[in-house]
Structure 1
Amino acid sequence: MHSFIPPERFFPYLSWTDIQEMPNKENVVIIQPVGAIEQHGPHLPLIVDAAIGVGVLGKALAKLDSSIPAYALPSINYGKSNEHWHFPGTITLSTETLTATIMEVGESIYRAGFRKLVLMNSHGGQPQVMQMAARDLHVKYGDLSVFPLFTWRAPNITKELLTPKEAKLGMHAGDAETSLMLALLPEQVKLDKVVAEYPPEQPQSTLLSWEGQLPVAWVTKDISKTGVIGDATTATKEKGDRILESLSDGWVQVIRDIYHFQPIRRD
């Protein structure tokens, strides 16, 4: 049941009396991984985002100093993935359903006495949902600190391992995700089906981009025939191992910082 998560760090393995008697609950870090079940091209399984989140978190929790109390909740594997729903197999929740799920999980964690909740999101289509839910939870419970974080934004070396084009335009099922999956679930990667496909280039004169400062809304079929937005042909397990080590080191630092975080009180 705990997958990549160390069993001693897996929240559901605790009993209710373990939680009742837990000391210093206001500083215990509770981490909710949030992924997606969605297409990732012909070479990767649907579970990529959920697997990456739990894989990175599990590695980080195994490295984390045992003196820092931190626990992983079971992953929310379904996400808001309607940008991919033209590709068979994608399962999507609405913004409202995902928000309600996050809110109710947060409320349950709060009732148990915890005051630090991390939303560890690994799907690029829903950071805004995490941010809005986090703000609403904090508005409702002023002493609950909620951290809406994206897995790939912890300090890591990934971009150093990619070509300049991939670092700029690779967004989905490309080198980084494929390499990391080769490290986490290599038997689920179909190397004979890897492809490279980038979105159409925007005119150099425009300020607009597919992602970034001034984006346009798109769905995957607008910019990709295969479901890949990047170059999966350059992926290797060696790169994946390095990405996993780097990302998990970054998350050790993030969890440590959240444990020591002291909210501002202006009652």
Structure 2
Amino acid sequence: MIHGYIPPHRFLPYLSWTDIAALPDRENTVIVLPVGAIEQHGPHLPCSVDSVISSGVLGKALERLPADIRAFGLPPITYGKSDEHLHFPGTLTLTGPTLLATITEIGESVYRAGFRKLLLANGHGGQPQVLEMAARELRLRHGDFVIVPYHVSRLANSSGKYISEQERRLAMHAGHSETALMLALAPDTVHMERAVANFPPVFPSKVLSADGRPACAWTARDFGPSGVIGDPFGATTEQGHDILDTLADSWVQALTDLFHMQWVTREVESWGYGHQHGHIQQAL
């Protein structure tokens, strides 16, 4: 079946339309849309990393979520905006406008079904701006729609205790944390015997980049032929499960907060994008 990492009882497409119409409190029910990518992740990881991690982490969180917190997952968007990796075979990329339209149209369907809270759980570092644009577009159209675009790995987790200082400052792709998570979520796809370490050169302007990360536009090929931007060595399955567990626990709290919270509401003017005349409701 198509639920993948999302527990079946939390997978919205397994309900009939009459089941969905009968759901209580749809306006506070949180709908989770994992958004990943299919792109190269070096010679040791599969191209599906971002899609696996986004759906795997949120699936684990939905599995642990208390029964009284209403939330459902959607099938993930597995293709993303991955043009910084298009020089490598296996990368399948959408354009920004295509991804923007896809997310926006799914969001409209979620709203049309009576839901008013949508989490865009992003697993790919090359597309947060597109998700933010989609969220803003939907908010402009619907003054009572709460859309949260957020990267799955940005919440509190244990990865910091496993990575080096260089990894913390400069790693961006196929490094220690992603490798550990994949060892936990899809171990058969990881080939550590092929692993290589590679970092970008330190950006020469401390004013523009205090930690040395590139402050200019880049593609993965700019930093060498492997596609790796980090150090996967030392990653273990045990570390991966620890990172996954701590991330999932953080997302349980975040989903709980989203379910209970109330946010600014406003009427939408007939011409679409009006001033926000709203009020903040008190939290339940």
Output the TM-score relative to the length of structure 1.
0.96
Change (3 A) 1:210 1:52: farther
Within 1, Cα distance between the matches of 2:112 and 2:67?
25
Displacement of 1:214 after TM fit? 8.0
Q: Which secondary structure does the structure 2 equivalent of 1:153 belong to?
A: coil
RMSD of equivalent CA atoms? 1.6
- Encode CA deviations 1:172-230: one digit per residue, 9 max, x unaligned: 00000001000010010011101100001223x53234988982111111123200000
Match for residue 152 of structure 1? Answer: 153
**Counterpart code for 2:222:** D
Structure 1 counterpart of 2:215: 215
Bigger proportion of residues as helix: 1
1:12 partner letter: P
User: Is structure 2 residue 192 aligned with structure 1 residue 186?
Assistant: no
Identity of aligned residues (%): 54
Question: How far is 1:68 from its partner?
Answer: 0.6
Q: Does 1:110 align with 2:111?
A: yes
Shift of 1:159: 1.6
1:122 aligns with 2:123: yes
Do the aligned residues in 2 keep the contact of 1:29 with 1:69 (CA within 8 Å)?
yes
1:36 corresponds to 2:17: no
Task: Say if 1:210 and 1:218, in contact at 8 Å, map to a contact too.
Answer: no
Give the equivalent residue in structure 2 for 1:252. Answer: 252
Q: CA deviation at 1:170?
A: 1.1
1:228 maps to 228
Task: Name the amino acid aligned to 2:123.
Answer: S
Is 1:66 the counterpart of 2:67? The answer is yes
- Give the residue type in structure 1 aligned to 2:58: L
Partner Cα separation in structure 2 for residue 9 and residue 212 of structure 1: 42
CA distance in 2, matches of 1:93, 1:211: 30
- The AA in structure 2 aligned to 1:225 is P
Write the distance in 2 (CA, Å) between the matches of 1:141 and 1:160. 42
TM-score under structure 2 normalisation? 0.91
Amino acid at match of 1:244: L
Question: Residue type matched to 2:17 in 1?
Answer: W
CA contact 1:110–1:144 (8 Å) conserved in 2: yes
Moved more, 178-187 or 208-217: 208-217
- The answer as to whether partners of 1:79 and 1:98 remain within 8 angstroms in 2 is yes
For residue 125 of structure 1, give the secondary structure of its aligned residue in structure 2.
coil
> Which 5+ residue runs of structure 2 have no aligned equivalent?
266-276, 279-284
Structure 1 counterpart of 2:50, one-letter code: D
Q: Deviations along 1:150-179, whole A, 9 cap, x unmatched?
A: 101112121222111111111100000001
Contact 2:169–2:213, Cα closer than 8 Å, also in 1: no
